[in-house]
Structure 1
Amino acid sequence: MHNTSISNVHVNLCSTVLSLRGLRTVTQPYQDDSEEYTLCWNGEAWSIFGESNSGNDTEAVYRLLVDAVKTVSASDVHDVLIHNASNIACNIARALSHVSGPYAFVFFDRPQGRVFFGRDFLGRRSLLTRITESGEVIIASVSAGDPRDGWVEVEADGVYCLDLSASASCSALPGSQTQKVGSFVTGQAPYHFAQDAEAEVGLSNSVIPRLSLNKNTLPIHLPLTTASLAVANLETCLRESLVLRVLNIPDPPDYDNRKDFVSKARLAILFSGGLDCTVLARISHELLPASEPIDLLNVAFENPRIHKEARADLAGLTEAYELCPDRITGRTSYAELVRTSPARDWRFVAINVPYTETSEHRQEIISLMHPHNTVMDLSIACALYFAARGQGQIRSSASRGSLPYTTSARVLLSGLGADELFGGYTRHATAFRRGGYPALLDELELDVSRLGKRNLGRDDRVMAHWGREVRFPYLDEKLLSWALNVSLIEKCGFGEAEVQLSANDEGCRTLEPGKKVLRCLASKLGLEGVAREKKRAIQFGARTAKMQAGKTKGTQLLS
């Protein structure tokens, strides 16, 4: 914790860290010996200026931001007030456009009395703001959860500046939005996109792709198969993404103090048994040492609207959990992973959540997901909350029964993003049926443009509650850039021509068109059943949707 004062303004900074990068834990809030600048950093800098960061992320980002504050780019030399807030905010935005990875940050420039803050361009980490009745400005990863407090989520579109000096003004920020915050003024300097590299000096290494789809449609000569170049390119991108996210994870606390009957896991996967997460599991297996277990977290809920009769006895309730769609899919895909990768210790963690327990935790979940406040938010957040807790049962061959188990992994993998990039939602197929390629491209373009507006901040708050960090391999900057730039026919199978396939690839003809490039990759990896798995939303697969009788819509606000 760090405290400082500027004239009549008091600044209080506080951070907690999981310490998942680097060889040592770096205390936060972070300062150097000068104590002129302070950084609160919640994120992963996979690379900076195209170079992998082998040291501590907090230290590397701190040096980057300090240089941005102290250095004025050539484009700013003409400004009279060379060190004003707008120049510095733009420098910081430029610098962070070279950082690959998820993050939220607060950076305090004490000499000038300015606070800079923001989230990565996809909003993969939570950051909220609030102004109290007394005029205090609060910037935090989580809220107090009271809708009356007025918490709002920081937009994932650039760097925001809060000028605490008496002459506070950020209104000169180019292309900025400005608004009053208490007695202060905030301004926003947008991030720079990789496509802008030729238009501005020094942006050749910007990692941020413009969230815009390649809409060129090419004639289909050959359908996607396991031998297609697009499948090979996706596999390369996904492997590179997973290398960053699954290797060199530090040991969990008390790793060597193994009082349990099993060794501790470093990695866990949010595992519905669907296509996206199972492909992640299969490739992770090829990257990690054979001795490391991988936990597959599969959640199923007692839904009183569906399981009225099952509540009468324990056996009936256990069967009800096993009949949840995601449990059925999960066990099937787990068996396929065991078949294709038998040397791995795959742990299928069956997380069964009674309705009474859902009710007990309901208010806590609502508080964590705030300011999101709809029925659908709660349905999704419930599933993620209990999955991330990782408390369930695993089957033991030694005892021929189930044993209680809680994952020790602090890193979770999520398959989120694949549906938006590769056309996996039912509405994508509907759009194609109604309007062909133009309608499908419009629907995909809408999804892609909203990636930065997704509810990742909500999900981060809900899962980080358990001291775990969720990582999104499909939202890696390089993979995202590739997926946006390739043509539609290299991702989906809609409208594929009926042509003769080789005997080895004949099975690809029957794969669903949605996310076909990923389905072909699954088939290439030996996951034939997974390649044919249908898309199912988490709230329906885990049965957290519509737990109570009556007509409710997902957009309905919680009472």
Structure 2
Amino acid sequence: MCGIFCLLSLSAAHFETDTTVSEHLKRRGPNWSQNLTVTGRNGCYQCVFSAHVLHMRGSLTTQPLQDTTGNVLVWNGEVFGGLPVMPEENDAAVIAQRLSSCGRPSEILSVLSSIQGPWGFIYYQKAGEYLWFGRDFFGRRSLLWKFDAEVLTLTSVAVHTSGSDLCPWQEVPAVGVYRVDLKAATEAGMVTLEVYPWARVGNDDTSTLQCVPSGCVALMNQSGLVLTSPVSPLNSSIPNSLNETETHSNTQLSVKDLEQLLASKEKNEEVNCLTCVLSEAVRRRVQSLPFEKKDSSPDDDHATVAILFSGGIDSMILAALADRHIPAHQPIDLLNVAFKLQEPKKQKESAKKKNKNMTTASKPDGANSPKFSPFDVPDRITGKAGLKELQELNPERRWNFVEINVTQEELQKMRHGRICHLVHPLDTVLDDSIGCAVWFAARGTGFIMEDNDQRPFSSSAKVILTGIGADEQLAGYSRHRVRFKMSGYEGLVQELAMELGRISSRNLGRDDRVIGDHGKEARFPYLDEDVVSYLNSLPVWEKADLSLPRGVGEKLLLRLTAKQLGLGQSAVLPKRAMQFGSRIAKMEDSHEKASDRCTRLCIG
């Protein structure tokens, strides 16, 4: 993974890059930093490329990559399939070599379409003097843009400045790739973006052309060329007999009930297939790591892979599958974040009067706590319960359950100093809550328990697995139940199609910026192209049955998969959003709506 940057000036004037932006980029790529300037014929334009490399696979390959004919590539991505990349090879070098052999736009599109995995890129094609850039189909890597005073700037991460910005940063829409004819742009004094869209069912081209920086113009390419979709279209079939909205009583089913459901629903084939494709997706992501020489010995004390871990079904399945593909002697870090709660007043008063041995109410994992802990948030409790399940699943594995505790003082400090810049240009209360929670979790600084004692701990894992994508594809959110109740399966299918279509702008760019700030890389197994294609091939009622109660009906196929993997109570935990499970939402104004603009992200 890398921090990538390009400044295109439509004149020969020299422009300095923002030093704060450079610092953000360097944190994303701490292993190598380098700049490269390309000047057009007769000095009519200037491109300043900057790359900051996080070494993830193969031998360390420096960027920007410039070939013998003058083509330049800055690449922020991972090739997990589609193009052959050997263990000792670096994917950026492989992509650069492939692009160097391309002449026509169709050839460049063919290379990009074949890549399975996340990417954001900027490519200067010397022949013809074109600048290409864009994001993958799901937008799993961040890329921002703005146009100001005849300067187009592209970057992985920006800076949030005070006051009203007349030329604000925007996320580059993950609708395809873009090409700028540099000669034509210089002559016209403006940037025209030629769009080569992904082939999507129901793609709205008109909205694409409007989401561009002020001062730029976007036009669909005249040849009508498109990028081939990397995933199968969504199965929208709905038998009339299933188009019902009647729901059962909202009571939780037990693990035993789920076992009976597994037998009665006869979903073994679907469960086996999902287990297979998801296991392979996890394998690709936990084994694509920096190439180790044969004479080097692995460090058994430090994990190479960590998981954003709440103990819920999404993260539990990732942990169980990672356990299959990571050598048994290597630990796996489970990153569990909690924001400090205020002790209830009633409990403070009663604590003075009651016996010290009196215990609090029983927790879901069966443990009783002798006193109030300000970090006993729901995700901490289910996380500890999930840890026990994983230890039973593989007692030989060292599972580092990292308790990451955040006070309000530290939250305010890091939000103002770092996180507000990473979340930008998103600005809602929801972006603030999730962005902050993910940033602290990904940092991995907390403590682990050893022999009943707390020991300070900081995760060394560069790869962080996250469960994003499961809810969007398997009807995991409460709004899916609302839509199902109102419009049946037809409405649910429409909602799921919308969820996956907007995931780049709602989640993925932000999370890539936040996690990458620690010099770590986010990987999304649930958004693996083969996983999405398989889930898209299934009719909606095979993936979710929202006539069943919470904790079972949503993500039903995934719950059956969890049971088959040997997981227990975690398989029937209802969905709980990260901002509520970590209790960051309780730290702030409880009257806010998730969609409100968050004033805490503003720079004074």
Query: How large is the RMSD of aligned CA atoms in angstroms?
Result: 3.2
Residue matched to 2:230:
207
Question: What do residues 397-438 of structure 1 show as CA deviations (whole Å, max 9, x unaligned)?
Answer: 2xx300000000000000111111111112223333344323
Q: Which residue, 309, 331, 349 being the options, matches 1:271?
A: 309
8 Å CA contact 1:92, 1:159 repeated in 2: no
Deviates more, 1:531-540 or 1:301-310: 301-310
Q: 1:378 is paired with a residue of what secondary structure?
A: helix
Describe the SS at the equivalent of 1:441.
helix
Kept in 2, the 8 Å contact 1:45–1:53? The answer is no
Aligned counterpart for 1:345 among listed residues 398, 414, 437: 398
Q: 1:174 to 1:127 in 2, by over 3 A?
A: closer
Q: 1:544 to 1:495 in 2, by over 3 A?
A: closer
The Cα of 1:353 is off from its aligned counterpart by 0.5
Give the Cα–Cα distance (whole angstroms) in 2 for the partners of residues 534 and 309 of structure 1. Answer: 28
Q: Find the aligned partners of 2:378 and 2:545 in 1 and give their Cα distance.
A: 26
User: So what's the TM-score if we normalise by structure 1?
Assistant: 0.82
Shift of 1:338: 0.3
> One-letter code of the match for 2:481?
A
**Aligned match for 2:332, one of 294, 299, 303:** 294
Residue 354 (structure 1) aligns with: 407
Corresponding residue number in structure 1 for 2:131: 115
Whole-Å separation in 2 of the counterparts to 1:304 and 1:356: 13
Find the aligned partners of 2:562 and 2:491 in 1 and give their Cα distance.
27
Using the alignment, how far apart are the partners of 1:459 and 1:354 within structure 2? 21
Match in the other structure for 1:468: 520
Distance in structure 2 (CA, Å) of the matches to 1:333 and 1:172: 49
Q: 1:307 to 1:26 in 2, by over 3 A?
A: farther
Label 1:510 to 1:95 Cα distance change in 2 as closer, same or farther (>3 A).
closer
Taking every aligned residue pair, what percent have the same amino acid on both sides? Answer: 35
Is the contact made by 1:272 and 1:330 (CA closer than 8 Å) also made in structure 2?
Answer: yes
Q: Is the 8 A contact 1:193 1:208 kept in 2?
A: no
Give the aligned partner of residue 322 of structure 2.
Answer: 284
Task: Spell out, residue by residue over 1:80-106, the C-alpha distance to the aligned partner (whole angstroms, 9 max, x if none).
Answer: xxxxxxxx2x54333211110001000
Partners of 1:43 and 1:103 within 8 A in 2 = yes
- 1:457-496 aligned at under 5 Å gives the runs 457-495=509-547
After superposition, residues 317-336 of structure 1 pair within 5 angstroms as 319-336=372-389
Name whichever of 515-524 and 543-552 sits farther off: 543-552
Corresponding residue to 1:124 among 140, 149, 153 = 140
Q: Distance in 2 between matches of 1:207 and 1:442?
A: 20
The residue aligned with 2:560 is 520
- Residue 145 of structure 1: CA displacement? 1.6
Question: Does the C-alpha gap of structure 1 residues 370 and 219 become closer, same or farther in structure 2, counting only changes over 3 Å?
Answer: same
Structure 1 residue 115: Cα displacement: 1.0
What per-residue deviation string (whole Å, max 9, x for no partner) do you get for residues 466-515 of structure 1? Answer: 0000100000001101101111222123447xxxxxxxxxxxx9961111
Question: Structure 2 vs 1, CA of residues 94 and 453 (structure 1 numbering), >3 Å: closer, same or farther?
Answer: farther
1:382 — aligned with what? 436
Question: Residues 330-387 of structure 1, C-alpha deviation per residue, up to 9 Å, x if partnerless?
Answer: 0000111001111110010000001110011111211111000111110110100000
Judge conservation of contact 2:195–2:218 (CA < 8 Å) in 1.
Answer: no
Residue 476 to residue 373, structure 1, CA distance change in 2 (3 Å): same
The separation in 2 between residues aligned to 1:187 and 1:19, in whole angstroms, is: 36
Contact 1:162/1:187, CA 8 A, preserved across alignment: no
Answer yes or no: is 1:18 the counterpart of 2:54.
yes
**Equivalent-residue separation in structure 1 for 2:196 and 2:399 (angstroms):** 52
Instruction: Give the distance between the partners of 2:403 and 2:195, measured in 1 at CA.
Output: 51
Distance in 2 between the 1:111 and 1:387 partners? 45
Task: Name the CA distance, whole Å, in 2 between partners of 1:349 and 1:419.
Answer: 24
Q: Deviations over 1:142-185 (max 9, x none)?
A: 00122625101001011111222145786776777668868775
Check conservation: 1:104, 1:126, Cα contact below 8 A: yes
Instruction: Mark the CA change 1:227 to 1:326 in structure 2 (over 3 Å): closer, same or farther.
Output: same
1:162 counterpart (177, 180, 200): 180
Aligned residues: 502
Equivalent in the alignment of 1:442? 494
Q: Is the Cα contact below 8 Å between 1:395 and 1:403 reproduced in 2?
A: yes
Name which of 52, 58, 63 aligns with 1:28. 63
Q: TM-score if structure 2 supplies the norm length?
A: 0.76
Q: Which amino acid aligns with 1:138?
A: T
Instruction: Give the Cα separation in 2 of the matches to 1:178 and 1:535.
Output: 36
Deviation at 1:447, TM superposition (A): 1.9
Alignment partner of 1:542 is 2:595: no
CA deviation string 1:176-197 (max 9, x = no partner) = 7668868775556698465xxx
Contact residue 47 and residue 101 of structure 1 kept, 8 A: yes
- Structure 1 residues 495 and 534: alpha-carbon distance in aligned structure 2, compared to 1, 3 A threshold: closer
Contact 1:158 1:191 (8 Å CA) reproduced = no
Question: Secondary structure of 2:64's match?
Answer: coil
Q: 1:307 to 1:547 in 2, by over 3 A?
A: farther
Rounded to whole Å, the distance in 1 between the matches of 2:471 and 2:116 is 22
Q: Secondary structure at the match of 1:123?
A: coil
Task: Determine if the alignment matches structure 1 residue 142 to structure 2 residue 157.
Answer: yes
Q: 2:238 aligns with which of 216, 222, 232?
A: 216
